Amino acid sequence: MTRVGRPRTLRVRLVAGVLALLTVICVGVGVATSCAMRHFLVDRIDEQLNASGGRYASSLEHPGTCGHDTRAQSPGTFGARLVNGAVTHASVVGGIPPGDDDPVPIAGGSGGDAAVPLTDRDVRTLRALPVNGRPRDVTLSALGHYRAVSVAGSDGDVLITGLPMHPLDETVQRLLLIELVVFAAALAVAAVAGTLGVRLALRPLERVVATAERVSALPLASGAVDLGERVPDDDQGTEVGRVGAALNRMLGHIGDALTRRQDVEERLRAFAADASHELRNPVAAVRGHAELALRHPGPVPEPVRHSLERITAESRRMGTVVEDLLLLARLDAGRPLAVEDVDLTRIALDCTADARAAAPRHRWLLELPAEPVTVPGDPHRLTQVVANLLANARTHTPDGTEVTLRLSATPDQVLLTVTDNGPGIPPELLPHIFDRFVRGDPTRSRRTGSTGLGLAIVRAVTQAHAGTATAQSAPGATTFRITLPKAR
C-alpha cells in the first residue's frame, strides 16, 4: 500500500532530499551564527561593565565628587546603590518611559539621569545579585532585559551597574531575519537548480525506462518479435550507463531466445502440416480397404471381422486427428477463413440437437434471444467451435449432468456460453485447458476417442474471428465463454 503524500518518483525524492539536507544545514548555520554573535556581544557588554566597575552607581550618592567624566555613560546605563539590602538610589542615563505597573520611585541622580521606579520584585532581583563582579542577566519592570554586575562599595554599600540588552536582542533578531531571507532565497535557487540538474542527470535513466516500457508492450508470447530496441550506453562509467548496458545484453539474449523459439515453432508447424498432409491418403486408403473387406459377400471369420471393424474405427479416429492438425496448421499459418453472415442461432439449435442425440442421458438446455444472432465468419468453423464445446461437456461429465448453451448479443459483440454442473476442471489443468493435446483424464479420453485438440481448435478458430475464448470452473459450475465481434 502506497503512503499518501510520500514522493514516489526518483527525481522528486532526490530534490526533496537535497532540499531537506540544505534546510538542516541552513538552520544549523543560522543557529550557530546567532549564538556566536550573541555570545560575542554579551562578552563586549561584560567587558564594558567590568571596565566601569561601580563608578556610576557610586556617583549617584555623591554627584559631582568624582567629576563629570566618571558620569559619562552610554544612554540606558542603569545604576543602583544598596545599603543593608535596601535600594537607596536607582537611576538610568537618558531617562525612561513611565512604567505600566505603577512602581514606587526611588531617588535618582542629577543631570540627564532619570530615577528608575522599582517594584518589590525588582528590589529582590537586585538584592539577589552575587557581589562578585560577575555580570548576570536581570529583568526590571521599567527597563526590561539588562546585563548587570554587583560590586562592594568603599563604605559598606553595594553598587550595581547594568547595560541594556535590547540593542543586543535587536541585533540578533535582525541577523536572524537576514539569514532567513538569504537562506530562503538560497533554498529556492537550490530547488530550481537541483530540479534542472537532477532532470539532466536522470535523462539517461528515463531513456532506459522508455525502452523497457516499449519492450514490455511487445507481444512476446508467440510469433516473430523484433527486439531492435536498445538503450544508449555510451558512458558505462556511470551507474545508469551500466544499467543500460546490462539491459541491452538482456535484450540481446531475449531476442536470440525468441528467434530460436520461433524457428522451432515454425519447424514444428511445418512438420505437423506436412505429416498431416502426407497421412491423409494412407489413412483414407486403410479405411477404404477395411470397409471394402467388410462388404465382402463371402463368409468372413468373426475374429477377422472384429479386426476389420477395429481398423475402420481407428482409421476414422486417425483421420479426425489428421484433419484437426491440418486445421491448426492452417490457422497458425494465418490463412484466411471464409467470411459470410453466419446465423449462430441456427448453429446453436443444430449442435444442441446433435448433442442430445449423442448423449440422451444428459440434460441439454438452450437459451436463445428472441431475434436471430448473426456474425461475419466461416460457418463451418463456427459450427465446429460450438460442436467441440458441447462434445467436451458430454465427454467429461457423467450421465444426468445439465448442460446449458446460452446465446446473447450486444450492439458490438456476441456472447456464447456453455455451462455444465459437472465435477469441474482440476485447478492445475485450468490454465492449460486450451493447449493442444491436453486431456483431463488421459485414460478415459483415449477410450472415448478424445484427441486433446478440441478446445485448442475452439481457441484458434475464435481468435481467427477476432474473438476470445475463456474458461472458468469450480465443482458444480464450469463455463466456457466465446465472444465474437458483430463486425469484421
**One-character DSSP codes across 202-237:** THHHHHHHHHHHHHHTS--SSS------------TT
Who wins on pLDDT, 7 or 430? 430
What confidence tens digit (pLDDT) does each residue in 81-99 have?
A: 898 888 888 888 876 644 4
**Are residues 183 and 146 located together in one domain of the fold?**
no
pLDDT of the residue at 236: 67
Angstrom distance (rounded) from CA 444 to CA 395: 9
Residue 262 lies in a domain: yes
Is position 139 within any domain? yes
Q: Is residue 46 part of a domain?
A: no
Q: Are residues 239 and 157 in the same domain?
A: no
Per-residue CA distances from 166 to 53, 102, 123, 170 (Å): 21, 22, 21, 6
Mean pLDDT of 299-311: 82
Residue span of the structural domain in which 442 resides: 340-485
Residue 208 lies inside a defined structural domain of this protein: no
pLDDT in tens, 150-207: 988 877 888 899 999 998 989 999 999 999 999 999 999 999 998 888 888 778 777 8
Shared-domain flag, residues 351 and 473: yes
Residue 426 contacts residue 412 (beta carbons within 8 Å): no
pLDDT in tens, 365-401: 999 998 999 999 999 999 999 999 999 999 989 999 9
**CATH number, position 255:** 1.10.287
User: Average pLDDT in the 426-446 region?
Assistant: 75
Residue 349 lies in a domain: yes
Task: Say yes or no: 231 and 255 in one domain.
Answer: yes
Domain assignment present for residue 63? The answer is yes
Domain-embedded: residue 370: yes
286 and 422 together in one domain: no
Unique residue bearing C-alpha cell 538610589 = 89
Which of 321-325, 364-368, 373-377, 429-433 has the weakest average pLDDT? Answer: 321-325
The pLDDT tens digits for 52-83 are 777 787 777 665 544 434 446 778 889 898 98
In a shared domain, residues 155 and 232: no
- The whole-number pLDDT of residue 413 equals 92
Mean pLDDT of 330-358: 87
User: How many domains would you assign to the chain?
Assistant: 4
Q: How far is CA 78 from CA 103, 123, 179, 423, in A?
A: 16, 14, 32, 103
pLDDT of 425 higher than 70 = yes
221: left (phi over 0), alpha (psi -120 to 50) or beta: alpha
- Give me the pLDDT at residue 66, please: 44
Cell of 462: 475464435
Q: Hey, which of 24-28, 199-203, 246-250, 452-456 has the most confident mean pLDDT?
A: 24-28
Whether residue 481 sits in one domain with residue 347: yes
CATH number, domain of 372, equals 3.30.565.10
Average pLDDT, the chain: 82
